[in-house]
Amino acid sequence: MEGGEKLPLPLGMLGSEGIYDIPSLVERNKHPFYREFVVSAFGPSEATWAAASPRQAATGSKLWEKTEVLIISHSDDDEYVEKEQSTDMLEHIKATKKDGQGQAVYLPAEGKHDEIHEKGVEMARIVGTGLEMVWVVGWGASWEDVRGGRM
């Protein structure tokens, strides 16, 4: 492949236990650790925090808007990142995507924040579900067709 050629878009994307809105993470979590964590990564400017937040990105500018399958996953047992990061992002995605622009779903996870990635079993289940969705949507069906028993 020579330089300058476009790569194909991914068929699917997965966000798990993610931080999608940095300013709201700091606002919702009053413990000083959260502000310190964000400032050490992005500096003190809240405008920079917002610019680095997928949920606050300008419409039409992000890769996730163009993918066919998007899964947002989060565990109720996550002790570091509040579930609203994921549910708010999913609402934003659904409001941004137009009919016929793919599927966006929430997939509940089980386990504490780091357990999901470290143990691997739960992440394997989530990724497997994502692969199944990519296959289903690739054949012109919807996730509801599979999970609703229509296929």
Handedness of CA 40, 41, 43, 44 (dihedral sign): negative
Burial of 25 (0-12, 13-18, 19+ CB in 10 A): buried
* Structural domains of the chain, with CATH: 12-147 (3.40.50.1820)
* pLDDT exceeds cutoff 90 at 4: no
- pLDDT range class, residue 150, cuts 50, 70, 90: very low
* H helix or E strand, kind and range, residue 136: helix 121-138
Digit-coded pLDDT (tens) for 101-111: 678 889 999 99
Digit-coded pLDDT (tens) for 116-131: 999 999 999 999 998 8
CB 133 within 8 A of CB 71: yes
Strand ranges (DSSP E) for the chain?
A: 12-16, 69-75, 103-109
Would the pTM of this model clear 0.85, i.e. be above it? no
Average pLDDT, the chain: 88
Q: Please tell me what DSSP assigns to residue 64.
A: G
